[in-house]
Amino acid sequence: MSDYDQQNQSVKTQFNIGRDQVIHNLVLVGQLLDFAKVEGLLPKPSATSMDFTKILQSVEKNIDKQIENNLGFAAAFAGQILQNIVKKFDPKESLAIVPIKSILKELPSQIKYSLQHLNYWEAYAVKKMDYFKGYQRTGIVLDSLNTIWNKRFGQVRTFMITDYPELIYFAWNTRSKIVEIEELTIAESQVITLGIAIDLMRLYMIAENDMRTWRGIMKSFGLNK
């Protein structure tokens, strides 16, 4: 556990991240989103929107301020999960490109393992009925990816990472299908990459809010240490 002083409060992270590791993970997630190059896919800017360009520009000069921001922790969390796969497929030659489809093939198992290890899977996995096949699928619903996909392609899809593990989607919310990575277009691969990175950040933010609520309940009953 690592403690950071945030406005005179102790904020405990769920994994040990030092200053350099936070910077590394922020840069890693930013690079993934830059790689996607899908402008206009995200919702219009709002008070809670994510501007990675500004974050990455200021992170070295203002790392403490970024650490105090949940967004900084969320990016570090996503980077922590994704970094092993990204390192594995990082091009070794200057003219080589990132094999994004190879990365996408291994992401479901890596994400499932990491989320199970951190108890996110138990907390946020849901069951979804495949009415066509007559059985339920259990997994993490990728709400951010679903929104971006619908906006980009005009198709209603409900993407999930299942407990097999597999990346699947429900067409029109009724029939599930495994995502065939080899059949994805460049644009589809980019959108899925972007969506998964954002969904990992979203999960962290949800969990952080849940933990604040839990600590408040414990404190109200005088059970906090």
Is 70 exceeded by the pLDDT of residue 20? no
Domain that holds residue 179: 3-220
pLDDT single digits (tens) 82-91: 988 888 988 8
Q: Structurally, how many domains does the chain consist of?
A: 1
pLDDT single digits (tens) 44-80: 444 444 455 554 454 445 444 544 557 778 888 998 9
Residue 171 lies in a domain: yes
Residue 24 lies in a domain: yes
With both helix axes pointing from N to C terminus, report the angle between 70-88 and 186-220 in degrees, rounded to the nearest 10: 140
- Is the pTM above the cut of 0.85? no
C-alpha distances in Å from residue 88, one per residue of 91, 100, 116, 172, 195:
9, 12, 21, 35, 21
Report percent pLDDT > 90 for the chain.
27
Residue 96 lies in a domain: yes
Residue 116 lies in a domain: yes
Task: Specify whether the CB–CB gap between 170 and 127 falls below 8 A.
Answer: no
Q: Name the β-bridge partners of 160.
A: 141, 168
CA distance 202 to 194: 12
Q: 29 vs 159, which has greater pLDDT? A: 159
Residue 225 lies in a domain: no
Is 90 exceeded by the pLDDT of residue 224? no
